[in-house]
Amino acid sequence: MVTKGRVLIVAGSDSGGGAGIQADLKTVTALGGYAATALTALTAQNTQGVFGIVGVEPAFIVQQMEVVLNDLGADCVKTGMLHHAAVIDAVVETLDRAAIGIPVVVDPVMYAKGGDALLDPAARETLIQRLLPRAALITPNVREAEALSGLSIREPDDLAAAGRRLLELGPAAALIKGGHLPGDTVTDWLVWPGGAEAFAAPRVDSRNTHGAGCTLASAIATGLAQGLPLTAAARRALAYVQEAIRTAPGLGKGRGPLNHGHAARPWP
């Protein structure tokens, strides 16, 4: 019998190790899953910014996905940086052909933590029209949710409204992250057809938040791969990220990475 918990991550690399594929691998492993990868891009990146991007040919991204799915299999797929329309098209076509019935968690990576653009503006419509309808869950931050929904987000209740608008684009659920809003409490809204739930937690006062979005999406994907209901997977993932920020090692001169290894112990 194959143990559940296999996550195929389709995303870009962060040379600084705090976000992207590197954060995804650490997260899935720390939460007891098995991570496989398909690299979409290489970035020259550290805690201070993104200094260069080299894309991977779509055909090779497809090959990476196919060989993993055909041999190791997956219980969930998580997508991150898909920087061009051709990459999004190739990934969606592969999912539709080789990952039928497997839930997909989409982190719509449009901007790096420092504001650098990681999605070609011309690819936004392809993301909306092709990938979002394929998603079991999307996990945009405030800026991404505004760009995708067309709504202005100024307070926590706006997150829920943006989530409902995003459901009209086709995903089964949306988790709108409120970490960019001001205040001592961080509120995230999970919205699905017919329901919604808010998750509130005290803000951890830290500059070490690089890769928090990648980490959260991969943590939820791991929970789904392990058979957790969506709300339970989200709750566990948010707790994991909060502790990873609280115990961050303080590396780098800018926005530092999280402590992904704090949960290298069995979870209940």
Class of domain 6-260: alpha beta
Residue 116 confidence (pLDDT): 61
Q: Distance between CA 202 and CA 165 in Å, rounded?
A: 27
Q: Distance between CA 235 and CA 245 in Å, rounded?
A: 16
Q: What share of the chain is helix, strand, coil (3-state, %, to 5)?
A: 40, 25, 35
Helices then strands, counting H and E runs in the chain, come out as 8, 9
Amino acid at 239: A
Q: Do residues 138 and 234 lie in contact, with contact meaning Cβ atoms separated by under 8 Å?
A: no
Q: Do residues 86 and 119 lie in contact, with contact meaning Cβ atoms separated by under 8 Å?
A: no
Residue 217 confidence (pLDDT): 98
Each residue's pLDDT expressed in tens, for the chain with a length of 268 residues: 456 899 999 999 999 999 999 999 999 999 999 999 999 999 999 999 999 999 999 999 999 999 999 999 999 999 999 989 999 999 999 999 999 999 999 999 887 665 666 678 788 889 999 999 999 999 999 999 999 999 999 998 899 999 999 999 999 999 999 988 999 999 999 999 999 999 999 999 999 999 999 999 999 999 999 999 999 999 999 999 999 999 999 999 999 999 999 965 544 3
Residue 119 confidence (pLDDT): 75
CA pseudo-torsion sign 35, 39, 43, 44:
positive
Q: Distance between CA 253 and CA 234 in Å, rounded?
A: 31
Residue 214 confidence (pLDDT): 96
- Its pTM stands at 0.94
- Per domain, the residue ranges of the chain are 6-260
Q: Distance between CA 39 and CA 96 in Å, rounded?
A: 19
Alpha helices by DSSP H, the chain: 20-30, 58-71, 85-98, 124-126, 142-149, 156-167, 212-225, 230-246
Amino acid at 136: A
Q: Which of 23, 13, 27 is nearest to 225 (CA)?
A: 27
Q: Do residues 175 and 190 lie in contact, with contact meaning Cβ atoms separated by under 8 Å?
A: yes
